[in-house]
Amino acid sequence: MSVTSIIARLLSAGLPGWRQLARRSWCSRQRSDLSGLDRKIVWLHDGDKMPWALWGVDNGFFELEWAGHLPYLRAVALVG
């Protein structure tokens, strides 16, 4: 377990709403990375973030796709 994971667990236990705020912040950062001109996908290397990525997909931040067994995020396709 990483130091970041330990700190996040301590904060989520001590501050109500911290987990929701951290998840929203992480998803916003990934969406921002996807909006760059040279960035088409973001590889999801941290398996602990998979629940956050699924939440981000459910809330329209990005799309989740797979390259074999490796998950990656892609910007939401614009309709119209």
In a domain, 35, yes or no: yes
- CB–CB of 73/53 below 8 Å? yes
**How many domains does the chain divide into?**
1
Contact between 5 and 33 (Cβ < 8 Å): no
Q: In the prediction, which pLDDT does 57 show?
A: 95
Q: Give the model's pLDDT for residue 73.
A: 94
- The pLDDT value given to residue 33: 87
Structural domain includes residue 17: no
User: What is the mean pLDDT of the segment spanning 49-66?
Assistant: 93
Q: Which structural domain range is residue 79 located in? A: 24-80
In a domain, 73, yes or no: yes
Prediction pTM value: 0.72
- Domain assignment present for 33: yes
Choose between 40 and 31: higher pLDDT.
31
The strand pair at 70-74 and 41-43 is best described as antiparallel
- Of the listed ranges 13-17, 50-54, 71-75, the least confidently predicted one is 13-17
What is the structure's pLDDT at 74? 93
| pLDDT band at 11; cut points 50, 70, 90 | low
* 78, part of any domain: yes
